Amino acid sequence: MFVLEARELTKHFGGLKALEAVSFKVKEGAIHSIIGPNGAGKTTLFNCLTGVTRPTRGSIHFSGQEISRLQPHEVAELGIARTFQNIRLFPEMTVMENVMVAQHTRTKYGLLSAVLRGSSFMSKERAVREKGFEYLELMGLEDHAEALAGNLPYGSQRRLEIARALATEPKIILLDEPTAGMNPMETLEVMDLIRKVKGLGKTVILIEHDMKLVMGISEWILVLDHGVGIAEGSPEEVRNDPLVIEAYLGRETTH
Amino acid sequence: MKGVVQDQARSSRKSIAQRARESAGRSVMLRSFFIAAWAALLFLPFHGIRSALVLFAGIFAGLPVMQSAMRLGGPGEWMQRLPGFRAFTLRSFPFLRTSALPVFLLALFVLPFTLKDYYLDVLVMSGIYMLLALGLNVIVGFTGLLNLGFAAFYAIGAYTYALLNTKFGLGFWPSLPLSAVAATLSGLLLAVPALRLRGDYLAIVTLGFGEILRIVLNNWDSLTNGPNGISGIAPPFLFGISLGSLNFYYYLVLGLVLLSVLIIRRVKSSRVGRAWIAIRENEIAASSVGVNVTRYKLYAFAFGTFWAGIAGALFAAKMRFVSPESFTFMESVFILSMVILGGIGNIYGALAGAFILVLLPEALRDVQMYRMLLLGAGLVLLMIFRPQGILGGRKGVRIRG
Ligand SMILES: Nc1ncnc2c1ncn2[C@@H]1O[C@H](COP(=O)(O)OP(=O)(O)OP(=O)(O)O)[C@@H](O)[C@H]1O
Ligand SMILES: [Mg+2]
C-alpha cells in the first residue's frame, strides 16, 4: 500500500535546518504534492530521497529497504527517478540518447559484447531505442529525437527531463517544479502529462510552488515551511488548515 | 505571488547559463593561477627557476584555454554563417561515410610502395600517436576527466616490453598484450585514489604521477638503466623471421589504429560509451539515471590507458631503445594537444590531431627554432576561433521554432 516512507527526516547545512524531522508515507499509484514557499526545503527533501545528499538524521524506507545511505545510482536502480528544478539534461547528447542512457540499469551487457556486436547485443540495443522512442512519444518529443538536447526549446527540455526519468523504469517518479518558467498553456499541458504518467501505474511526487495548481491533481499534499512539515492531508484538509493559510497563503497576500 | 514566481523562474532561466559562464570564468583564472604556481614549485628543484617560470606561464595561460575548449559548445555563431565555412572544416570529409572508404583503405595499403623511408617513418610515428590520442580521448573527450600525465602510461607500455624483452627474452607478440595490461593496471592504480578528487585536482595528480614515474625511470638504475635508457630491444619476429623493417611497422601500426578505431567506435555507441558521455555532460544527472559514476570513470581510465600501453610497446619495438627522455610532461601536453586540436570527444578528430601535430613539426624542420612557438600560436588561435577543435562539436538535427 505504502511504497515509500520517510521517518523523522532531518537535514542540517551547518546551522541551517533545511529539513527538521519530516515524516510522511507515500501511497502506491497516487499523485502526491509537496508545496511550500522558497527555501522551505522541498528540493533538499528530494535530494535526500534520491541519495544526492545524505540526511543528517532519520530514515527512508522504500519497498521494505532502508535507502538513506545509498548512492544515487543505487536508488535509481531500485526504482526512484527524478527530474531537476534547474534542468540537468545531457546537452551534447541527442534527445534519443538522453532517454537511452536512462535505461542504463535496465539493459546489461559487458564491454566485450559491445565490441563483438552479437545478435543478443543488437536486439538489446534495438529494444533500448524502441523503449526510448515510446517515452519520447509520450512526452510529445518524438519529432526531435535526433536533435541535441541542449538545442531544444525550454519547455521541451523540461518534458525531456520527465521522459528521461520515466526511461529508468521507476516505481516512483519525483518531479521538481516541472512547470517552472512555463507559460499557462505549457503548464496545463504538463499537468496533463503528469496524469498520463500516473496512468502508467507510476507513483508521482510533485513539487510545486503554485498551490492552486496542485489542488486539482493531487490526492495528498505535504506543506513544508522552514524545513518543517506544517500540514499534510487531502487538498481539502490542507486548504483549510490555519497554519498553512498563515505560513503559505498569508505570505502570498503580502507580496 | 504567481506573477512573482514566474518572473523569478523566467529570469533564472535566462541567466543560468550566463551566470555559470561568468562565475566559471572568474574561478578558472583563480584556479589556474594556483595550479600553475603549484606545478612551478614542484618543478623548481628539478629544472631550475627558468623552466619553472615557463611552466607557470604555460599552465596559467593554457588551462583556461583548455577549459573553455571543453566547456563552451560552439564557436562564434557569426563564423558559422560565413559563406564556405562549413566546406572549410573537415567535418564532412566524405570518405568516412561513402563508398570511398575501401578506396581510402586501399590507398593506405599501397602507400609504403610509393613513399620514401623518411615519410614512412613519420607516418609510423603519427600512427603511434594516433593510438595515444585515441586512448586519451576516451578519458578526456568522452568522460571529461582532465589527464595531464598520459605519457606515463605510454612509458609503462614501452618499458614493459623493453624489460620483458631484454631481461626475460620475451618476444614482441606475447609482450604486446602484457604491455597493454600493465598500462591498464597502472591506470587503475592511479585512478582509484585520484577519482576521489574533482576536476582540476585530478589534473594535478595525473601530472604528478607522470613526473614521479619519469623520475623513477631516471633513477632506478639497476632496473631501467637510468637516463641511459634500455637499448637492444628486439623487433617482432614471425616464424623466426625478423620483422624489423619500416614497411612492417607501417602495416602493424595501420592495423592497430584501424582496430582501435573500430573498437572505440563500438564502445562509444553502447551503454558504456553513453554512460561516459553522460558523466561528462552532467555528473549528478548521470548518477540519478543509474550510472555508477565512479565505476565508469575507472572503466574510462582503464580503457584509455590500454591503448597507451599498446602504443608504448610499438614505440619500444620500433626504436629498439627507450629512455625516460621520451616520456616527459611535454609529451603528455603534446598528446593532449592532439585531442584538443582534433576536437575533444571526436574519434576522427583525435586521428587528425595526431596526424597534423606529428607532420607539422617535421614540415617546419627548417625553422627549427620557432616551430614550437608557431605550433603554440596556432593552437591558441584555434582555441579562440574554433574552441571545439577541427572535427569537434556535434550538430544534431536543427530545430525549427
Ligand atoms: N547544498 C546546500 N548547502 C547549504 N545550504 C543549502 C544547500 N542546499 C539547500 N540549502 C539551503 O536549504 C534551504 C532549503 O533549500 P531548498 O532548495 O530545499 O528549498 P526549496 O523549497 O526547494 O526552495 P525553492 O522553492 O526556491 O526551490 C535553503 O535555505 C537553501 O539555501
Ligand atoms: Mg527547490
Dihedral-angle region of residue A244 (phi above 0 means left; psi in -120 to 50 means alpha; beta otherwise): alpha
Which A residues, 48 through 67, put their C-beta within 8 Å of a C-beta on chain B?
A: 50, 52
B396 touching chain A per CB within 8 A: yes
On chain B, the residues whose CB falls within 8 A of the CB of A90 are 277-278, 281-282, 285-286
Amino acid B43: pLDDT:
59
pLDDT at B77: 43
Predicted local distance difference test score (pLDDT) of residue B199:
65
Shortest CA distance from A49: residue in chain B: B288
Higher pLDDT, B225 or B264: B264
Whole-number Å distance, alpha carbon A35 to ligand 1 midpoint, is 14
CB neighbourhood size of B45 (10 A): 8
Host H or E run for residue A231: strand A228-233
Q: Which of B9, B394, B401 minimises the CB distance to A92?
A: B394
Contact B289 A164 (CB under 8 A): yes
Q: Compute, in angstroms, the gap from residue A236 CA to the centroid of ligand 1.
A: 28
Q: In angstroms, what is the span from residue A137 Cα to ligand 2's centroid? A: 28
The residue among B40 and A27 whose pLDDT is bigger is A27
Question: Residue B344 in contact with residue B222, Cβ under 8 Å?
Answer: no
CATH of domain B103-385: 1.10.3470
Q: Could you give the percent of chain B with pLDDT greater than 90?
A: 37
pLDDT of residue B79: 43
The predicted structure's pLDDT at residue B84: 47
CB contact under 8 A, B290 and A168: yes
Domains of chain A, earliest start first: 1-79+170-255 (3.40.50.300), 91-169 (no CATH)
Mean pLDDT of all residues in chain B?
A: 79
Residue B13 to residue A181, Cβ atoms within 8 A? yes
Buried b (16+ CB within 10 A) or exposed e, A154-187: ebbbbbbbbbbbbbbbbbbbbbbbbbbbbeeebb
The pLDDT of residue B37 is: 74
pLDDT of B88 higher than 50: no
Strands B241-242, B237-238: pairing is: antiparallel
Which residues 220-249 of chain A have a CB within 8 Å of chain B?
none
* Cβ of residue B300 closer than 8 Å to a chain A Cβ: no
Task: State pTM to two decimals.
Answer: 0.82
Contact B266 A117 (CB under 8 A): yes
Cα dihedral: B373, B379, B383, B385 (round 10): 90
Q: What is the pLDDT of residue B1?
A: 40
For chain B, the structural domain boundaries read 2-85, 103-385
What integer pLDDT is reported at residue A86 of this predicted model? 93
How many other CB atoms are found less than 10 A from the CB of residue B107? 12
Query: Could you give the CA distance from residue A127 to residue B254 in angstroms, rounded to a whole number?
Result: 35
CB-based contact (8 Å) between A180 and chain B? yes
Q: How many CA atoms lie within 13 A of B284 on its CB side?
A: 13
Q: Phi and psi for B197 in degrees, rounded to 5? A: -90, 155
pLDDT at B2: 42
Query: What pLDDT does residue A45 have?
Result: 95
Which of B32-46, B237-251, B288-302, B367-381 is the most confident on average?
B288-302
Per-residue exposure over B226-237, b if at least 16 CB sit within 10 Å of its own CB, e if not: eeebbeebbbbe
Q: Do B288 and A89 touch (CB under 8 A)?
A: no
- Residue-wise pLDDT tens digits, B42-69: 656 655 677 677 777 777 777 666 656 5
Collect all residues of chain A within an 8 Å Cβ-Cβ radius of residue B272: 111, 114
Of the two residues B286 and B102, the one the predictor is more confident about is: B286
Q: Which residue matches cell numbers 592511479?
A: B190
In chain B, which residues have their Cβ closer than 8 Å to the Cβ of A255?
Answer: 1, 4
A chain contacts of residue B9, beta-carbon cutoff 8 Å: 177, 180-181
Q: What is the mean pLDDT of residues B263-270?
A: 93
> Which residues, numbered 341 to 370 in chain B, qualify as contacts with chain A under a Cβ-Cβ cut-off of 8 Å?
345
**What cell does B12 get?**
533564472
pLDDT above 80 for B6: no
**A-chain residues within 8 Å CB-CB of B293?**
73
CA distance B166 to chain A (A): 33
Packing angle between helix B117-136 and helix B329-342, nearest 10 degrees? 80
Nearest CA to ligand 1 atom 2: A13
Range B178-183 average pLDDT: 96
* DSSP structural state of residue A23: E
Residue of chain B nearest A158, judged by CA positions = B13
Protein residue with least CA distance to atom 22, ligand 1: A43
Helix (H) or strand (E) holding B306: helix B293-319
Residues with CB under 5 A from ligand 2 (ion): A 42-43, 85
Contact with chain A for residue B100, Cβ under 8 A = no
Whether B272 contacts chain A with CB within 8 A: yes
Long-range contacts of range B50-57, CB-CB < 8 Å, 24 or more positions apart?
none
CA-to-CA distance for B36 and B30, rounded, in angstroms?
10
Smallest CA–CA distance, residue B104 to chain A, in Å, is: 24
Which residues form ligand 1's pocket by a CB distance below 6 Å? A 13, 16, 18, 36, 38-44, 85, 209
Report CB contact under 8 Å: A151, B398. Answer: yes
Q: List chain A residues with pLDDT less than 70.
A: 248-255
pLDDT at B162: 94
3-class SS of residue A225: strand
ipTM, two decimals, is 0.93
Tell me which chain A residue has its CA closest to the CA of residue B73.
A92
Q: Give the three cell numbers for residue B203.
A: 589534473
Question: Average pLDDT of B300-307?
Answer: 95
